[in-house]
Amino acid sequence: MIEIIKKWLVTYYPELEKAIGDSGSLLDVGCGINSPVMHLSKRPPRLVGVDGFQPSIDKSRSENKHDDYVCSDLLDIDKHFAENSFDCVMALDVIEHFPKEKGFELLEKMERLASKRVVVFTTNGFQPQEEHSGNVLQKHLSGWSVEEMRQRGYQVIGVNGWKPLLGEFALPRFWPKPLWILISRLTQPLVRNRPEAAFQILCIKHLGQVNMDPLESQVFALR
C-alpha cells in the first residue's frame, strides 16, 4: 500500500530518471543551485552543469552535484561543447526564461549536442514568474505548449497534477496549501497521458530512433 501511495504522490523524479535512461553522459543546461540530478538514484558517469549565474554555479559546485561546471550564457553552449558530445542534454525549468525565438535557438543547440536524447521540463503554457534571489534570469518570458513540442518530435508527459490547482513557483493557488498540494498530486495519474491538462510538461526527444511511451503511442494512433 505504501508503494502505491508513493507512485501517486511522487512522480516527477521517477519520470525524469526514465527519460534520462541509460545515458552515460549528461549535460545539465541551466543547472542552477538545486538541480534535480541530486535526486537521481543512479548518476550518469559524466555529469556536467552549465549556468549563466555564477553564484548558482559556486553553490552547486560546493555541494559536488556535478562532475564539472561551465559558467556561460546558455545560448553559447555550442561554443563549449562539440556536436554529439553528450548522450543526453537536458534543460529543466529553463526554456520559459527565454523569449520564444531564443528558446527555439536553445532547443536546436541542445539537439545538436546530444547523441541519444534531449529532455526538457517546462510549464504548460505561459506561467508568470518574476526574478528572485538576486537573479534576473529567473523571470519567465515565454510559454510552451504540448502541441508545439510534439511538432518538434518530443514525447510529452504531463507532470505535477491538474493545471488550475497551481500557480507561481508551482505552489497551490488555494488555502490551506498542504491540503491542495496533496490534492494536486492525487490528480497526477489523470494528467500523465493528458499533458494538455497538466501544470508542467516533461518532453523527451529520442534522436535517430522512434522510442515513444507505449501509452502515448496509443494516443497518437487515435489522432
- Whose cell is 498540494? That residue is 181
pLDDT of residue 131: 79
pLDDT value of position 216: 45
Q: What is the average pLDDT score of the chain?
A: 89
Interatomic CA distance for residues 76 and 195, integer angstroms: 31
Res 223: pLDDT = 31
Residue 136 has pLDDT above 90, yes or no: no
The confidence band for 208, taking pLDDT boundaries of 50, 70 and 90, is confident
pLDDT at 209: 57
pTM above 0.85, yes or no: yes
In this predicted structure, the answer to whether residue 145 has a pLDDT above a threshold of 70 is: yes
pLDDT (average), residues 61-77:
97
Instruction: Tell me the pLDDT tens digit for each residue of 17-52.
Output: 999 999 999 999 999 999 999 999 889 999 999 999
Paired residues of 26 in beta bridges = 47, 88
* Superfamily per CATH, domain 2-221: Vaccinia Virus protein VP39 (3.40.50.150)
Quote the pLDDT of residue 9: 57
Q: What percent of the chain has pLDDT over 90?
A: 79
What is the mean predicted confidence (pLDDT) over 200-208? 95
Beta carbons of 56 and 74 less than 8 angstroms apart: no
* pLDDT of res. 210: 45
- What is the domain partition of the chain in residue ranges? 2-221
- pLDDT band, very low/low/confident/very high, at 116 (cuts 50, 70, 90): very high
What average pLDDT does this structure show over 131-149? 86
Please report which confidence band the pLDDT of residue 194 belongs to, taking 50, 70 and 90 as the band edges: very high
